A and B are shown apart, each in its own frame.
Chain A
C-alpha cells in the first residue's frame, strides 16, 4: 500500500528528468577538478616519441629500399653463424645488415646476452636518415630485450671507399662483458659505370 507522500507525488515527465539531470551536471561543471600536473608536457613528449618511432620506421624502410636497389638479386646478407662469409657490397650505397640472432642462439652463452655491440672499421659508418649523430659513431650498442623474441637486429652501414672491411659484432652480457664475437667480412666495390 502506498503512503501519503507517494500518492501525492505526481509522475515525473521526460522534461522533469531532463531538468533534474541537467541541474545535477550544471553543478558538476562548477567543480574544478585538479588537473594532473605537467599534462601538456607529458602529452607533447609522447607525441614526439610517436613521431620518432614513425621516422625510425621510415628510416629503416628507406635503408631496406636502398639495400634492395643495391643488391638486386643478392638480397639481404646476414650474419648467420660461425663461418665468416665474404660479402660484396657497392661502395657509397647504404646497405642493411640483418643480424640473425636465431643462429647465435646455438651458443650456450646467448641466454645471458643483453646487448649487441657493432664496431665499424675506418671508412665505414652507420647510415641513418634520422639519427645523423650515428654517422660519426665508430660503434653502437643495441639493447636486447630478454622478454622479447627478436630474431633479427638490423642496422644500416655505408662505406666511403672501396676495399675489404671487417665489421665486428659482439654479444655482451648484463655487465657489458663480451660473450660471443663474429666478424663480418665485407668487400665494398666501386660501382661499375654504365656504358
Chain B
C-alpha cells in the first residue's frame, strides 16, 4: 500500500500526463492541510475558502508546468501566498478582515485556534507565510528557501526572528 505522500506523487504525475480524473484526487488528498494553511494565513474562513479554491484552480490548470511531483504541495503553498498577497495589496481589500464571531465557538479547540490566529495576525503576511511553511506545513529550511527564492541561511535567520516575535504574541 502506498504512503499518503507516495499516493499524492502518483496522482500528481498522472495529472501532469493529462489524466483529468487525477485532478479531483489531488484536491481530495490535500484539501484538509491546504484549508488549515489558508485559514491560518489569512485568519478569515470565507477568504480562506476563496483562496484555497483559487489556488487549486490556478495550480491544477497549470499542472503541466510542474517539473517535480514532489514539489506539488510547496507549489500550492506558493500560489496561495501569491494570491493572498495580491488580495491584501489590492486597495479595496486593504483593511484586514476581523475574526468572525462564529469561529469563536466552532469547536472545543476554539480558544487555542483563536489564540493562535490572533498571534499569527500580528505578524506581517510574509513572515506569517514563512512560519506556516516551515512549522505548520513542515517544509525543511531548504525546501522553504526554494519556495520563497532566498538562501537557506536567510530562511534560518528570518525564522529565528519570526519565531521570537510569534512567541512574544502567543505568550501574551
Which residues of A are in contact with B by a Cβ distance under 8 Å? 12, 14, 17-18, 20-22, 24-25, 27-29, 31-36, 39-40, 42-44, 46-47, 50
Specify which of A20, A24, A36, A43 is in contact with B35 (CB 8 Å cutoff): A36
Given contacts A33-B36, A36-B35, contact A12 B167 (CB under 8 A): yes
**Taking CB as reference atom, which chain B residue is nearest A20?**
B167
Given contacts A47-B23, A47-B57, contact A33 B116 (CB under 8 A): no
A33-B27 in contact (CB<8A): no
Q: How many residues of B sit at the interface, in one of the four size bands?
A: 20 to 34
User: How many A-B residue contacts, CB cutoff 8 Å?
Assistant: 82
The prevalent SS among residues of B at the interface is: helix
Specify which of A20, A35, A43 is in contact with B163 (CB 8 Å cutoff): A20
A17: B residues at CB distance < 8 A: 160, 163-164, 167
* Bound Cα distance from A178 to B113, whole angstroms: 59
A50: B residues at CB distance < 8 A: 57, 61
Interface stretch of the complex, out of B5-13, B48-56, B77-85, B143-151: B48-56
* Bound Cα distance from A50 to B20, whole angstroms: 14
B39: A residues at CB distance < 8 A: 33
Specify which of A22, A28, A34 is in contact with B40 (CB 8 Å cutoff): A28
A24-B107 in contact (CB<8A): no
A24: B residues at CB distance < 8 A: 116, 135, 170
**Taking CB as reference atom, which chain A residue is nearest B115?**
A24
Specify which of A14, A18, A27, A44 is in contact with B112 (CB 8 Å cutoff): A27
B52-A21 in contact (CB<8A): no
